[in-house]
RNA sequence: GCGGACGUGGCGAAACUGGUAGACGCAAGGGACUUAAAAUCCCUCGGCCUUAGGCUAUACGGGUUCGAUCCCCGUCGUCCGCACCA
């Protein structure tokens, strides 16, 4: 009777070979069946996969295998997001070439993924750093350029004055360069931009059509695009220092209703007016410089203390020429948004209020809540930002904020200064154009040539690819393309004179904005085969981290539109269904404090629980280690777990099953060693029960039992099938897992009886049906175990190529239901009654219950609430 | 700072988004089998009260409702994004 334990080290490679041999996961573009495209966000080849990858790809693989079983022609490809900074950092730190570092990483990560037994079409694999890929990206760039979707403009970068290099935001720590420690400066460079703002309105409107996206992602994108309806208002300059010659300042506001609450104007440090004033005033110039030293990150800017300086300029209030207001330069006003100038209404905006208190500017309440008292309404430390009734606003008093908006707009639109209306209604977007220039080597070269005579000349398509030179050095900071002895020198394609290549490369977000399209025909000479791309796209189910909710997804949505405009695809929205998985997080461990703080990996640590307190000890040294907060697994904090260890000891199926089972997939999962054992026990238990009964099951027909004792087996099996189907459709893997546990628990005793030869024919047939269904249900999550069990019970072919079973409606339906009975909202009894019993029948049955009789104590109930199929509540 | 989420036993969670709170798993405890261990099987398991049973409990404080983990208002805590990390 005793069967051997299931040995994944033997079974898993065996089945992987079998799948490969039969080309089970190769996808044919000409297959006539309905298509289904499932894609997980491709990984950055950092060198090792981590548990986040395992979770991500396990989820995608369940969807792929499930959809395949449902009869779809499934596309499930994989590739590598291979350009980016870490390769250059490795080159600087260890002297490895970015290309060899990257390709080695890809090789080892691919080997790790292979071991997971994912149903991927590896024939379509590519890395974005493959010349074949970035050549087509350059082709797209040229098409976009021709179409007017790309342009150059001045834009700021973080400049490290010691290393003479451009820094990424993450390389700026507290305003200093991460390596040099020098105070970062902002520098203006001419850079390349994609005109994503051409599509602002469409990108916003189309969010409504993405009904298979999480609402929170749509909301985040909506806020990011940030459409607002407001007014640009021109303010006449009444007096100014000698260094300025402007006559007016234009501000953008979404709250013209609060105009009578204005107490100052604030402009950005880069506003032309600020520059003029600064040229004649050292103190203001110093303040503007200080603003520029903050780096370019918005988060850094806005968390900084709000500061300003009076420019000496005075402007006239648009609705009262005798009222003059001061103009400040303020560090929280952005040149990129609106007009780079605002008017401050302290009573209606918290930031303005803080600013006003700091610089002793007047605070006049102009909006109060509807039921407020105008005489006593004041503003303390908190601004009133809501809607309400206008006060202290002359001709607007008593109006609603909305009415006041309209009235101010109408008044100022009809008023003219210098022959032009003083105000204009304006729709504004927060979204900015996408700057793609990077002053770095390891990225896709921007295919243009700078000629002194012809200006900016696109590289002719027949000259593509513009290949990255291999012979580069990283001994110095800065862009190796810039200092390469020959690479940048090239003849102008137009006049053949000496010219220079563009040395900027593209943002890696460009690479990831169309890889899903390339997967549909990665062998094409052109970027895509438009017919094939439009057949496969949109991606039916895209799965990835919530951290990409805005940028990657928005850029991809733009890129698809741009590719449509240039004839490469025939659709706007690349991702029909989106699922954002939670991250894998882990405790952090460290020793030392402050700058001496050193992070320790979980592998180096032993955790013990002593009297309810968890204590971490360094395995080698025996030193006590501080247990820190739970954070996203990252290299810098070293709180990573190596999936190889898990797969090595338990097998891929256990690892896959575990990451799917513990937490809801859209929530963060805290990795813990405990629990893997449980998943593994389930694998062994399922194997043992099935393989022991297999000899008896092999001979039997699979037939659900409609009557008799075996009916119960068939009922729970078919109910589980129905539920698991629904769970897989919703990607609720953790619930599917729970139901499978329940089913196996229920089948344990029948299986044991079958194995012992103590079951009648009907039971054996019902059990065979149950086991067949069970194997199909576990196959998407644990494909190797499923194949092994399938073979054991004498199944035909591969489970990976079998169709999903259908549940039997009869067995799923319930004739009787048990209703909970509440008295005054508290559960006091149960009532079992026919499923189709009407209200009256339910009511009288309830009143007959002992518990209800006791509670009523002879009186009649106040009310009986019967929620059909759900609950009964008796109000006494 | 702004935007978005999340918070339920010792732990991961479930509850068909207004209808029995804690399914299922982990950990823990007890028992069976065994010379012994592992594996396996059975039982207990939010808290309080003396059992039948009752009271209490979904971060905290209010509200709406016959009924709230779910809806509304406020507070606290944690996480993600903020445009050059990917």
Structure tokens that stand for A763 in this block: 């039971």
Q: What is the CA radius of gyration of chain A?
A: 34
| Strand B closer than 7 A to residue A720 Cβ | no
Residues of chain A (155-194) having a beta carbon less than 7 angstroms from strand B: 157-158, 166-171, 189, 191
Query: What is the per-residue pLDDT for A596?
Result: 61
Residues 6+ apart with CB under 8 A from A54: A116, A643, A655, A656, A659
Which amino acid residue lies closest to nucleotide B66, measuring CA to C1'? A875
Query: What is the per-residue pLDDT for A582?
Result: 82
Minimum mean pLDDT range among A402-411, A455-464, A657-666, A793-802 = A657-666
Is the torsion defined by CA of A480, A484, A489, A490 positive or negative? negative
| Strand B closer than 7 A to residue A219 Cβ | yes
> What is the complex's ipTM, to 2 decimals?
0.93
Query: What is the per-residue pLDDT for A511?
Result: 97
In this complex, the nucleotide whose C1' atom is nearest to the CA atom of residue A612 is: B10
**pLDDT exceeds 50 at position A548:** yes
Residues of chain A (550-569) having a beta carbon less than 7 angstroms from strand B: 550-552
| Strand B closer than 7 A to residue A734 Cβ | yes
**pLDDT exceeds 90 at position A641:** no
Query: A683 burial class (0-12, 13-18, 19+ CB within 10 angstroms)?
Result: buried
What whole-number distance in Å separates Cα of residue A869 and Cα of residue A77? 45
The predicted model gives A29-55 an average pLDDT of 93
What does the pLDDT look like over A702-741, one tens digit per residue? 999 999 889 999 999 999 999 999 999 999 999 999 999 9
Query: What is the per-residue pLDDT for A1?
Result: 42
| Strand B closer than 7 A to residue A439 Cβ | yes
The predicted model gives A209-234 an average pLDDT of 92
In this complex, the nucleotide whose C1' atom is nearest to the CA atom of residue A166 is: B84
CA-to-C1' span, A749 to B42 (A): 13
Vertex A526: Cα angle to A522 and A528 (nearest 5): 55
What does the pLDDT look like over A824-864, one tens digit per residue? 777 788 788 887 778 888 888 888 877 788 777 777 777 88
Q: Which nucleotides of B are covered by protein (CB under 7 A)?
A: 1-6, 11-16, 19-21, 23-27, 39-42, 54-55, 66-68, 78-86
What whole-number distance in Å separates Cα of residue A143 and Cα of residue A807? 52
Query: What is the per-residue pLDDT for A692?
Result: 92
| Strand B closer than 7 A to residue A406 Cβ | no
What does the pLDDT look like over A266-307, one tens digit per residue? 999 999 999 999 999 999 999 998 888 877 788 888 888 888
Q: How confident is the model at residue A3 (pLDDT cuts 50, 70, 90)?
A: low
Residue with tokens 């006590």: A624
CA-to-C1' span, A629 to B77 (A): 13
Residues of chain A (287-326) having a beta carbon less than 7 angstroms from strand B: 296-299, 302-303
| Strand B closer than 7 A to residue A81 Cβ | yes
Query: A264 burial class (0-12, 13-18, 19+ CB within 10 angstroms)?
Result: buried
What does the pLDDT look like over A134-156, one tens digit per residue? 999 999 999 999 999 999 999 99
Query: What is the per-residue pLDDT for A819?
Result: 80
The segment with the largest mean pLDDT, out of A13-17, A219-223, A622-626, A643-647, is A13-17
Query: What is the per-residue pLDDT for A593?
Result: 60
Q: How confident is the model at residue A339 (pLDDT cuts 50, 70, 90)?
A: very high
Question: Which H or E run includes A158?
Answer: strand A150-160
The predicted model gives A553-564 an average pLDDT of 97
What whole-number distance in Å separates Cα of residue A464 and Cα of residue A135? 6
Query: What is the per-residue pLDDT for A836?
Result: 77
A864 bridge partner residues: A874
What whole-number distance in Å separates Cα of residue A629 and Cα of residue A682? 31
**pLDDT exceeds 90 at position A590:** no
A610 bridge partner residues: A613
> Mean pLDDT for chain A?
90
| Strand B closer than 7 A to residue A548 Cβ | yes
Helical spans, DSSP H, in A756-796: 761-778, 783-792
- Are A61 and A121 in contact by the 8 Å Cβ rule? The answer is no
In this complex, the nucleotide whose C1' atom is nearest to the CA atom of residue A80 is: B86
The side-by-side arrangement of strands in the sheet containing A73-75 is: A73-75, A35-40, A541-545, A578-581
Query: What is the per-residue pLDDT for A667?
Result: 86
Of the two residues A28 and A47, the one the predictor is more confident about is: A28
């Amino acid at each position: 009777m005793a069967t051997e334990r299931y040995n994944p080290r033997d079974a898993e490679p065996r089945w992987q070979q079998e799948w490969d041999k039969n080309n089970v996961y190769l996808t044919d573009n000409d297959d006539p069946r309905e298509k289904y495209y499932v894609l997980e966000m491709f990984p950055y080849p950092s060198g090792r996969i981590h548990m986040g990858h395992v979770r991500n790809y396990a989820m995608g693989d369940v969807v792929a295998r499930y959809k395949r079983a449902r009869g779809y022609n499934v596309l499930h490809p994989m590739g590598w997001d291979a350009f980016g900074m870490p390769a250059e950092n490795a080159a600087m730190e260890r002297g490895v070439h970015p290309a060899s570092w990257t390709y080695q990483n890809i090789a080892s990560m691919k080997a790790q993924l292979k071991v997971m037994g994912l149903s991927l079409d590896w024939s379509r694999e590519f890395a974005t750093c493959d010349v074949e890929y970035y050549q087509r990206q350059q082709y797209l760039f040229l098409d976009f350029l021709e179409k007017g979707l790309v342009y150059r403009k001045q834009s700021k970068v973080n400049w490290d004055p010691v290393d003479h290099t451009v820094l990424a935001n993450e390389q700026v720590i507290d305003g200093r360069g991460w390596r040099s420690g020098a105070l970062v400066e902002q520098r203006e460079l001419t850079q390349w931009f994609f005109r994503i703002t051409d599509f602002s309105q469409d990108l916003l409107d189309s969010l409504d059509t993405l009904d298979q996206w999480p609402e929170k992602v749509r909301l985040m994108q909506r806020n990011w695009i940030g459409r607002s309806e407001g007014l640009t208002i021109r303010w006449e300059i009444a007096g100014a220092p000698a260094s300025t010659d402007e006559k007016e300042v234009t501000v953008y506001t979404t709250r013209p209703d609060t105009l009578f609450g204005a107490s100052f104007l604030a402009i950005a440090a880069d506003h032309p007016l600020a520059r003029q004033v600064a040229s004649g005033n050292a103190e203001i110039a110093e303040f503007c410089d200080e603003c520029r030293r903050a780096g370019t990150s918005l988060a850094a800017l806005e968390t900084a203390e709000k500061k300003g300086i009076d420019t000496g300029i005075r402007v006239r209030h648009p609705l009262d020429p005798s009222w003059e207001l001061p103009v400040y330069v303020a560090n929280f006003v952005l040149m990129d948004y609106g007009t780079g100038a605002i008017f401050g209404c302290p009573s209606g905006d918290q930031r303005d209020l803080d600013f006003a208190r700091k610089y002793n500017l007047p605070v006049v309440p102009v909006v109060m809540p509807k039921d407020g008292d105008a005489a006593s309404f004041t503003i303390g430390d908190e601004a009133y930002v809501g809607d309400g009734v206008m006060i202290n606003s002359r001709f607007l008093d008593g109006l609603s904020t909305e009415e006041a908006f309209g009235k101010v707009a109408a008044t100022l639109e009809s008023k003219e200064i210098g022959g032009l209306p003083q105000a204009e209604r304006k729709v504004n977007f927060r979204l900015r154009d996408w700057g793609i220039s990077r002053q770095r080597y390891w990225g896709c070269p921007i295919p243009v040539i700078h000629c002194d005579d012809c200006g900016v000349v696109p590289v002719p398509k027949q000259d593509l690819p513009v290949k990255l030179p291999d012979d580069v050095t990283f001994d110095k900071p800065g862009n190796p393309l810039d200092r390469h002895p020959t690479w940048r020198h090239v003849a102008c394609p137009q006049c053949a004179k000496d010219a220079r290549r563009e040395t900027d490369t593209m943002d890696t977000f460009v690479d990831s904005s169309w890889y899903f399209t390339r997967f549909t025909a990665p062998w094409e000479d052109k970027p895509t085969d438009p017919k094939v791309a439009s057949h496969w796209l949109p991606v039916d189910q895209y799965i990835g981290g919530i951290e990409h909710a805005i940028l990657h997804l928005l850029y991809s949505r733009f890129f698809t539109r741009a590719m449509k405009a240039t004839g490469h695809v025939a659709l706007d929205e690349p991702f029909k269904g989106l699922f954002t998985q939670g991250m894998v997080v882990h405790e952090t461990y460290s020793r030392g404090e402050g700058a001496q703080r050193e992070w320790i990996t979980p592998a180096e640590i032993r955790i013990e629980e002593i009297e309810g307190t968890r204590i971490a000890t360094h395995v080698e040294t025996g030193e006590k280690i501080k247990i820190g907060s739970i954070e996203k697994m990252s290299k810098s904090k070293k709180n990573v777990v190596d999936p190889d260890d898990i797969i090595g000891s338990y097998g891929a199926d256990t690892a896959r099953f575990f990451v799917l089972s513990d937490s809801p997939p859209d929530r963060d999962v805290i990795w813990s060693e405990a629990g893997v054992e449980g998943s593994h026990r389930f694998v062994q238990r399922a194997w043992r029960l099935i393989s022991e009964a297999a000899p008896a099951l092999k001979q039997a027909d699979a037939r659900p039992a409609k009557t008799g004792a075996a009916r119960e087996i068939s009922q729970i099996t078919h109910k589980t099938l129905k539920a698991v189907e629904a769970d897989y459709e919703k990607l609720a893997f953790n619930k599917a897992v729970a139901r499978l546990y329940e089913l196996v628990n229920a089948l344990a005793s029948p299986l044991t009886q079958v194995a012992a030869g103590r079951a009648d024919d009907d039971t054996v047939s019902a059990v065979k049906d149950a086991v067949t269904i069970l194997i199909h249900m576990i196959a998407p999550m644990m494909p190797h175990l499923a194949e092994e069990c399938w073979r054991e019970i004498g199944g035909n072919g591969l489970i990976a190529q079998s169709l999903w079973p259908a549940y039997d409606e009869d067995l799923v339906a319930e004739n009787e239901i048990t209703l909970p009975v509440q008295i005054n909202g508290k559960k006091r009894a149960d009532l079992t009654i026919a499923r189709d019993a009407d209200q009256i029948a339910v009511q009288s049955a309830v009143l007959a219950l002992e518990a209800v009789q006791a509670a009523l104590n002879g009186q009649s109930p106040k009310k009986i609430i019967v929620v059909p199929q759900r609950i009964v509540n008796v109000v006494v």
